Amino acid sequence: MKMTNGEGGEKLRFAIIGAGMSGILSAIKLREAGFDDFAIYEKASRLGGTWRENTYPGIACDVPSHLYSYSFAPNPEWSHHFSPGAEIQAYFEKMARDYDVEDFIRFGSEITRCQFREGRWHLATDEGPCDEVDFVIAATGVLHHPSYPDIEGLDRFERSLFHSARWDHDVALENQRVGIIGTGSTAVQVTAELIDRVKSLSLFQRTAQWIMPQENPAYTESEKRDFREKPEQIYRLRDDISVLFAQNFANAVVDADSPQMKLIEETCRQNLELNVKDPVLREQLRPNYRAACKRLVISPDFYQAIQKSNAELVTSEIANVEPKGVRTQDGRLHELDVLVLATGFRVDRFMRPIQLFGIGNKSLEDAWAERPAAYLSISIPDFPNFFMLNGPNGPVGNFSLIEVAELQMAYIIQLVNQRREGRCRYLCASQEALENFDAARTKAAKSTVWTTGCRSWYLDDRGIPAAWPWTFDHFREAMERPDLAAFDLIA
């Protein structure tokens, strides 16, 4: 029997904010649970989230393809073990079609305000009020607000300048002098992809990165045919990859002294020492912190690319940007035709800039005055019936975010069922539960590799990692069943 009603025949309505990986998943799982009265609000004209926004040359996922896909919708057509961004975008577009999600998406509708009053959430866009719902699911993602560096003169550059997440594909790159500011995953992927196309490439390095070598073989047509004809093979492969990924990486980084962490470090060290021939360049590329203290960069060919004759690693600090290029502190002007800002994202924004008001008109800005925080990364005290996927303090850097979102959505459905089954009308995490969770998380974070002496986007204003500091098994256990004692249930 299809159940769409709450207690007393009341029909429950949902708003999903964001039509990326988590938003599409939310819609699929709501319908599966019997809820079909919802809308997905998407600020852009196309779904896809991170994979819509990021289209830079060389973009690929650093999680194996068969793990970075919905568990209930395996894809036998992945071209590589780590697939390119365009394929991932196409996968999510196909999921939206296959699961009849497209008709629920309201494109070009950026939610600017959510206010809880008279027992419901009232949503608005710049054009005014747009919806009134019982539950809000924020699937707004993490990597969608570009971070721009504070460098004098950026606005004076005469040629082409853009952030990697706003790649200008109308700009010709062949035989051009290209500069890239940044050395994270994006910069590494762009460098390897462009080096054979451009006249010269200057990589401006503030901090060296450890590089984990990872080959990326293509799946053969025979393998893909087997996946199509025997889908159970994909499930077995996915399970195997999940176990290996958790044991050899996800669980390693949360225990800085683990044997697996030491193996990661040794692998990265050998990758550098065996593949970079010039001793001066090798030392310039050698970080002064432990591997995986920053988000580990994975690449099969970055070291080969940066050693090409038309590549230059610039280690002198940037002084300013001038009309014709970048001037470094050593006085040199690096003349450029194209300047790419591969400087990451503002990872502390989450739903913001949405104006969010909970019980008693409490604002999210007040709730997060010190820093973003949420119980199990899902619920905020005083914001009832408002849930997040991949919110603050979640496993953003050490697990597959699809696995994370699926587990979180199953947890959220159980919370929603408290309303459907008449146990309450509203619920949210208690302040005590959040404080206890945050205290335990802060203590556990001290044992992770993220606190071993580097500066990274994982760290909050106190220098505490804002990511999940426990094992993947612990996360699974936490997501199995809500502890209702941790929630304020309001009749």
Would you say 260 and 175 are in contact if contact means Cβ atoms under 8 Å apart? no
- How many CA atoms does the CB half-sphere of 265 hold within 13 Å? 19
- Would you state the structure tokens that stand for residue 208, as one six-digit string? 């060296």
Tell how far CA 241 is from the center of its chain: 20
User: What is the structure's pLDDT at 4?
Assistant: 43
Q: Which residue has the tokens 């975008």?
A: 89
Q: Do domains 7-145+346-490 and 154-215+241-341 have the same CATH topology?
A: yes
Is it true that domain 7-145+346-490 has CATH number 3.50.50.60?
yes
User: What is the structure's pLDDT at 173?
Assistant: 97
Q: What's the average pLDDT block by block, 10 residues per block, for the chain (491 residues)?
A: 48 97 98 97 96 96 94 97 96 98 97 96 96 97 86 97 97 97 96 98 97 94 96 94 91 94 97 98 97 94 98 98 98 98 86 94 95 96 97 85 96 98 96 97 95 88 90 95 97 87
User: What is the structure's pLDDT at 29?
Assistant: 98
- Residue 279 host element (H or E): helix 279-284
The ranges assigned to domains in the chain are: 7-145+346-490, 154-215+241-341
What residues have CB less than 8 Å from 223, skipping those under 6 apart?
Answer: none
User: What is the structure's pLDDT at 6?
Assistant: 53
Would you say 169 and 55 are in contact if contact means Cβ atoms under 8 Å apart? yes
Which of 431, 344, 341 lies closest to 384 in space, CA to CA? 431
- Strand, helix or coil for residue 450: helix
Which of 478, 429, 407, 479 lies closest to 25 in space, CA to CA? 407
Which of 102, 53, 304, 318 lies closest to 207 in space, CA to CA? 318
User: What is the structure's pLDDT at 1?
Assistant: 26
CATH number of 154-215+241-341: 3.50.50.60
What residues have CB less than 8 Å from 128, skipping those under 6 apart?
Answer: none
Rg (CA), the chain: 23
Q: What are the residue ranges of helices labelled H in 100-250? A: 185-194, 221-229, 232-245
Report the predicted TM-score, pTM, of the whole model to 2 decimal places: 0.95
Would you say 418 and 481 are in contact if contact means Cβ atoms under 8 Å apart? no
> Residue-wise over 260-269: b if at least 16 C-beta within 10 A, else e?
ebeebbeebe
Which of 184, 417, 177, 413 lies closest to 312 in space, CA to CA? 177
